Amino acid sequence: MAVLCYALHVGMPEMERERVESEIFGRPYEVDCVVEYGYELDGTSKTVDVWVLPLLERRRVQEARNLLMSDAQNFFTKDE
């Protein structure tokens, strides 16, 4: 995730980003770097391979945005 963010900020070409990722994490799409990203209700940890983490983050952001859009935003009262 940090490599992806850094690449976006500095305008790194995708080919160079992939080279840096494979240098740090190994070959893409192989389970080789497990990351703990949360906990279940029973206390067990949630783990995922580092290659899947950006997809989970994208889904989390989309769900948060959808929740904001579906929530009624009443900024004004009748008295105003």
Helices 14-25, 2-10: inter-axial angle, 10-degree rounding: 150
What is the pLDDT at residue 44? 93
What is the pLDDT at residue 68? 82
What is the pLDDT at residue 9? 82
Q: How many CA atoms lie within 13 A of 68 on its CB side?
A: 6
Q: Where are the domains of the chain?
A: 2-70
State the Cα–Cα distance between residues 39 and 46, nearest whole angstrom: 5
3-state DSSP assignment of residue 39? strand
Is pTM beyond 0.75? Reply is no
State the Cα–Cα distance between residues 42 and 26, nearest whole angstrom: 32
What is the pLDDT at residue 45? 92
C-alpha torsion 12→17→19→20, nearest 10: 100
In tens digits, the chain (80 residues) has pLDDT values of 777 778 888 888 989 988 888 888 777 667 677 888 889 999 999 898 877 888 888 898 899 888 888 766 666 666 65
